[in-house]
Structure 1
Amino acid sequence: MKDEKQPPPTTGRFSIVRSLWYRSRAEAMDDSEAGRSIVMPVAGTAPPLQQVLRRLAMALVVLAATTLIVWADRDGYHDNANGKLDFLDAAYYATVTLSTTGYGDIVPYSDSARLTNILLVTPLRVLFLIILVGTTLEVLTERTRNQVRIHRWRSRTRDHAVVIGYGTKGRHAIETLLSQGIPKGQIVVVDPERKAIDAASSDGHVAVLGDATRSETLRKAELPSAAQVIVATHRDDTAALVTLTARQLNKRASIVVAVREDENVPLLKQSGADTVVTSSSSAGRLLGVSTVSPHMGAVLEDLMTYGTGLNLVERPVTKNEVGQSPRHSSDLVVAIVRGRQVLDYTDPQAATLQFADRLITIKQTVPGP
């Protein structure tokens, strides 16, 4: 019996159909993926090793302070070995006193030494034990606290944005979302690579490690309750299958997909994508425009980069603009969204603005405080 060959890594229409067929057969097999988990943001939290080293430094500071206290009042202590205390004896007494109840070979006999043990050494011993016990408890409860954080996040997350793929496209998409006022807590990253998940977590995002073509991975990202889905995978066939899975889980979310080839746009539309952005053709058009007019290319790049220079903004029509011409608006109107139709500002149908219209305008970036 001949072995079945795997589909070649192409991005045409027929290659996507073949990939979908191979994927459906693979899902029927028992090949569960290991290591898929939800990773909470780690921004502002020190790594475990750094936390342990910090606590160790605190314990050494307490030990050093106790040693100096004993050494300063060394004449009030008696050493059963030779009767006197040197600096090493003071460090030894501080160590055994903080870590145990003492061996009795060195004892305070003067009133000042005993008062110092009551008022200073005993509180330092308690502080030393708190540091040690706190480190142990933190290690033991880390997993439980992480599970509590995940449970709390999943119960509160609604109408968020799910970004599938934390490569160059995914990161720039998140930067634009953040510049438009969407908080980091409302953005969830899904990626199959541990390195990308660690980077997203370090950037302050909730991240899900796993294959986004599988429904259980997208459910971990709470995709059924998401409002926006951005598919920024490396391959078009993967993007098609992710879009199919996402649309099956969520019928109302807005799904935006990035693909490489124009011929795959209709297939992505049929798969459930609301908007399909062709990266190769868009880059090619920008290259052509920049070749003919570098200034025009710079303006287009500025318009596509939200938060700097000029911004493309979609907003509702105000009461004062209803019944007026788009040219009378205080902003530079370039298009009117009426229902599901986008009208050019020169279109005769857009000569009079209606109450339910939305305007796509060009506005100057307002510097922040």
Structure 2
Amino acid sequence: MASRRVLFGTRVTLVLVTLVAILSFATGVINIGVTEVSGPLATYIPEDIERAAGFTGALTGFLMLGSVFGLRRGLRIAWYSTVFLLPVTAIQGLAQSSIFSTPLIALSLLSLPFVLVNYRRFDRNIDLSTTQLAATAALVGTMVYGTAGTYRLREDFANVETLLDAVYYTIVTASTVGYGDAIPTSQQARLFSISVLVLGVASFTLALGSLLGPAIEARFAQALGTMTERQLELLEDHVIVLGYGDLTEPIIDELDGTTPFVVITPDQDAAAKLNARDIAVLSADPSDEDPLHRASIEDARAVVAATNNDANDALAILTAKSLNADIRVVAGATDRENVEKLRRAGADTVISPMVIGGHLLVESALGDENVETVADQLLESSGGSVPGG
């Protein structure tokens, strides 16, 4: 079951979609300047589409890479865009005569079922701030205003005849490129062009600021150990460690390098130290549902709760079991009387290191010479090493 989940998991899906994006871009670059299409659909393709077939593949490839970025963040809108773009890349592959066309068609058709199967993994909505929404609206509004106005005043412009010409003029003006091939020829057109230029510069600046600002803030937050989303996006068949305490460090040492895992702890200092060691960590309360969803508890292999506070562990276990009743939960009890309480909270296995250690010490004090051997065997069976051995 685990191998099947990995085979059809998000990692494989992202690899396939990324390959489609690269091939789509490659075929687009190779076919730049091609004016005729010799593929099996050549007789059915309109002339305008034939002329555009030389470069649309590169554009689709860029759009697909944007979708891959969105998929890595688990965005639902990226899932929709990928489902839409994969058939487009397949059709473009049929329409093009490049040597990359056949692999592009095959990978596009192969990737689509993987994307569809992993629908529930991409369930995050885009969380845009008021500033970002305003910047997007300003940018779109400027483009609509510039395009509609230029097309309406097309008789007052040189080399502006079609709607595409109006879009082209608006983009080169608002972006301050200004090639000079489409120019205003009347006073009214010049005044309108000035308004497009001012609005375009303002909207582009606002859009860049609203997008780059949160990215810079995210970098600072990651450096402080408060957010490691990129480490969490592709986790599956992993272990979730709830909380951080004296018993957690040996658990991390055992998991590190052998099994993918993520730690959820409200301790900011502990989160920063773990993040500095490149350990996936969420700075949040492990008894809350949101961080457990972000840690993909639905696809986790197991949950481990072993801090110095059995009450907090019990609450975190209850939350974990409510979100995934089938997940295996292992708990470490600090006090012996809390063992049964942790079991009732939902823990499948409860281990009390203090009780075990005390029992071994008592047996050794009473003359049992095999105690040290038993302890060594416990370490060896768990993959540990015997000090000095």
Q: Which TM-score bucket, shorter chain as reference?
A: 0.3 to 0.5
Q: Normalization by structure 2: what TM-score?
A: 0.39
Q: Normalization by structure 1: what TM-score?
A: 0.41
Which is strand-richer, 1 or 2? 1
Bigger relative CO (Cα 8 Å, ≥ 6 apart): 1
